[in-house]
Structure 1
């Protein structure tokens, strides 16, 4: 899992089967120091996260299992909105 900041949204009128009615967000992984790390990615969101929020991201098959259609081409999903965290 990754900790990330929501930095934008994606709108697509044409999507693959299984992705209908799925909200897509652009998220930027961050370090525990809250500094960006790595590349941003697109994640499906069913819990209602918004731009500026810190979220928990699942990737790969755990993310795909969250889609209604288990064959949907989902690679990342928002699985939690983080209220706070601390670390070194």
Structure 2
């Protein structure tokens, strides 16, 4: 998992049937100090995140199971909206 910032939305009218109804967001990866790391990717939103919010992003096969039986072709999911981060 990692922290990311939602920087936009992705609209796809033609997509895999298992992705129908899922919200796709563009996320930029952040460091532990909430600074831009440089990479971006598309993530499926499971929590109602919006542009500008800091989110928790889950990757790999566990990201697919956020949406049920794991049949959706998902590699990256947003699983939380961050309220605050404390780094010691």
Q: Same fold (TM over 0.5)?
A: yes
Runs of 5+ in structure 2 lacking a partner?
Answer: none
CA distance in 2, matches of 1:34, 1:46: 21
Q: Helix, strand or coil: the match of 1:66?
A: helix
Q: Which has the higher helix share?
A: 2
Judge which range, 20-29 or 59-68, deviates more. Answer: 59-68
Q: Which has the higher strand share?
A: 2
Which residue matches 1:44? 44
Q: Could you tell me the TM-score, scaled by structure 1's length?
A: 0.92
CA distance in 1, matches of 2:69, 2:8: 25
The runs of at least 4 consecutive aligned structure 1 residues that moved more than 6 Å come to none
Judge which range, 25-34 or 68-77, deviates more. Answer: 68-77
Q: Could you tell me the TM-score, scaled by structure 2's length?
A: 0.92
Runs of 5+ in structure 1 lacking a partner?
Answer: none
Superposition map of 1:1-88 within 5 A: 1-68=1-68, 70-87=70-87
Deviations 1:6-34 (A, max 9, x none): 00000000111210100000001101121
CA distance in 2, matches of 1:62, 1:83: 23
CA distance in 1, matches of 2:37, 2:61: 22
